[in-house]
């Protein structure tokens, strides 16, 4: 190879190295320019936004912390909160129950009006005064002496009875129907009815029912009583008691108040007696076959001398009275009407104490009875003569009801 050719090769090699260096510098500059544009400093808004997101994530992580935190609470405070919650639930349940019954009552009235047969027993309670209880004393035309003995003992009379209604919210009435076929009050003018009217004019303590009296009609009378009472007075409880039973009104009120917030309450001395299929015996059950084989017992129900039901149950009876089946014994009938309902049975033995010395010993021990009677007589034996003694020995005191706070 000549020196000329070598020079040409050398010159070409040197030129290529220069261009190579130039291209490297150019690429480096372009790289710097590109890098500056891609990694610009975030704006203030974007910084605050990212910071906000971080704060939210921090709060969420804290709220989701699964580590148990130690919360120091006193046992009394915890029990108090549990009790308050339980009371609130019961009150809400009772309110819902009352609203359901009022809605059902309104529907029943609407249907009866559309059918052309208004239900006089179901009325709107809006605007009525609220009472604690209505006490209906079941009585008969032949029980004048019993009624007078009740008036002379545990049932306040005259201005005291009015004061009892106004101050304590307690209504007490003798409950009785009519002696013959009842159409209107103007057509029921028999001798027995006139005697009741005269007695009512004197004392003003009767509740007359659209019902024909008769021992075998006690189940029907019970239905009509509750339906009529719930239409006349807006009360928390409705009580049925026989006219040969001694009652301590203040103790009865204090007993019922403890269950005031509970819905669908049925209170009494719960029993389950035998179903008597033999004809001619007292308390014979003609429909004994409905209760199974011979020798079976009734379902649990309150004894008929005294029992109480809450307003929602009384409303239920009023709405459904036309389809509620009547058994021979009224206490069995009442239990049957409730057997398929979600109700609270309360068995309180103070509602069925014996006569002295039983109720007297309990009163001396500080456990005053609500009601006293003789089981052997299904009431106080010879009550017209003996109820005064029971009142003296087992009564709560004449001032108890006036000092009571319900």
What SS3 class is residue 54? helix
Domain segments of the chain: what residues? 114-403
**Could you list the pLDDT tens digit for every one of the 406 residues in the chain?**
444 444 444 444 445 666 776 776 676 666 655 555 444 444 444 444 445 545 544 544 554 454 445 545 566 666 667 667 766 776 666 666 666 666 655 555 455 444 554 444 444 555 679 999 999 999 999 999 999 999 999 999 999 999 999 999 999 999 999 997 555 555 556 899 999 999 999 999 999 999 999 888 999 999 999 999 999 999 999 999 999 999 999 999 999 999 999 999 999 999 998 999 888 888 889 999 999 888 889 999 999 999 999 999 999 999 999 999 999 999 999 999 999 999 999 999 999 999 999 999 999 999 999 999 999 999 999 999 999 999 999 999 989 999 999 9
- Cα–Cα distance for residue pair 304/328, rounded to 1 Å: 12
Which tokens is 246 given?
């001694």
pLDDT 10s digits, 159-183: 999 999 999 999 999 999 999 755 5
Distance of CA 336 to the CA centre of its chain: 19
User: What's the CATH fold of domain 114-403?
Assistant: Spore Coat Polysaccharide Biosynthesis Protein SpsA; Chain A (3.90.550)
pLDDT 10s digits, 52-75: 545 544 544 554 454 445 545 566
**Quick one: pLDDT at residue 214?**
87
Please tell me whether the overall predicted TM-score, pTM, comes out greater than 0.85 for this model. Answer: no
Torsion of the alpha carbons at 46, 51, 53 and 56, rounded to the nearest 10: -160
**Quick one: pLDDT at residue 387?**
98
Please name the helix (run of DSSP H) or strand (run of DSSP E) that holds residue 237, with its range, or none. strand 234-242
**Quick one: pLDDT at residue 68?**
47
How many CB atoms are located within 10 Å of the residue 271 CB?
A: 16
Q: Are 314 and 97 in contact (CB under 8 A)?
A: no
User: Which segments of 272-395 are extended strands (E)?
Assistant: 301-310, 344-347, 371-372
**Quick one: pLDDT at residue 323?**
96
Q: Are 205 and 174 in contact (CB under 8 A)?
A: yes
Q: Are 244 and 232 in contact (CB under 8 A)?
A: no
């Amino acid at each position: 190879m000549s020196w000329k050719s070598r020079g040409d090769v050398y010159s070409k090699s040197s030129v290529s190295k220069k261009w190579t260096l130039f291209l490297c510098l150019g690429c480096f500059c372009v790289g710097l320019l590109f890098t500056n544009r891609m990694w610009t400093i975030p704006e203030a808004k974007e910084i605050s936004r990212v910071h906000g997101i971080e704060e939210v994530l921090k709060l969420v992580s804290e709220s989701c912390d699964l580590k148990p935190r130690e919360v120091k609470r006193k046992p009394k405070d915890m029990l108090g909160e549990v009790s308050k919650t339980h009371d609130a639930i019961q009150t809400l349940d009772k309110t819902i129950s009352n609203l359901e019954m009022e809605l059902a009552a309104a529907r029943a009235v609407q249907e009866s009006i559309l059918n052309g047969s208004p239900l006089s027993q179901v009325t709107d309670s809006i605007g009525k005064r609220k009472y604690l209880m209505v006490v209906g004393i079941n009585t008969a035309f032949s029980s004048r002496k019993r009624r007078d003995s009740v008036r002379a003992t545990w049932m306040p009379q005259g201005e005291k009875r009015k004061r009892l209604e106004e101050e304590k919210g307690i209504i007490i009435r003798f409950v009785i129907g009519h002696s013959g076929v009842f159409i209107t009050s103007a057509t029921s003018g028999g001798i027995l009815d006139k005697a009741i009217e005269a007695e009512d004019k004197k004392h003003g303590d009767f509740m007359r029912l659209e019902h024909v009296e008769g021992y075998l009609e006690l189940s029907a009378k019970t239905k009509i009583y509750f339906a009529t009472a719930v239409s006349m007075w807006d009360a928390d409880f409705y009580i049925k008691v026989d006219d040969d039973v001694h009652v301590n009104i203040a103790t009865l009120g204090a007993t019922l108040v403890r269950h005031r917030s509970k819905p669908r309450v049925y209170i009494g001395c719960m029993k389950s007696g035998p179903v008597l299929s033999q004809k001619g015996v007292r308390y014979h059950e003609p429909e004994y076959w409905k209760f199974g084989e011979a020798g079976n017992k009734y379902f649990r129900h309150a004894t008929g001398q005294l029992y109480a039901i809450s307003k929602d149950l009384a409303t239920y009876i009023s709405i459904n009275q036309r389809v509620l089946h009547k058994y021979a014994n009224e206490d069995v009938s009442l239990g049957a009407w409730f057997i398929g309902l979600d109700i609270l049975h309360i068995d309180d033995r103070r509602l069925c104490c014996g006569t002295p010395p039983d109720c007297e010993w309990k009163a001396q021990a500080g456990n005053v009875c609500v009601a006293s009677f003789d089981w052997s007589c299904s009431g106080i034996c010879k009550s017209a003569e003996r109820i005064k003694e029971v009142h003296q020995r087992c009564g709560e005191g004449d001032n108890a009801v006036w000092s009571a706070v319900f």
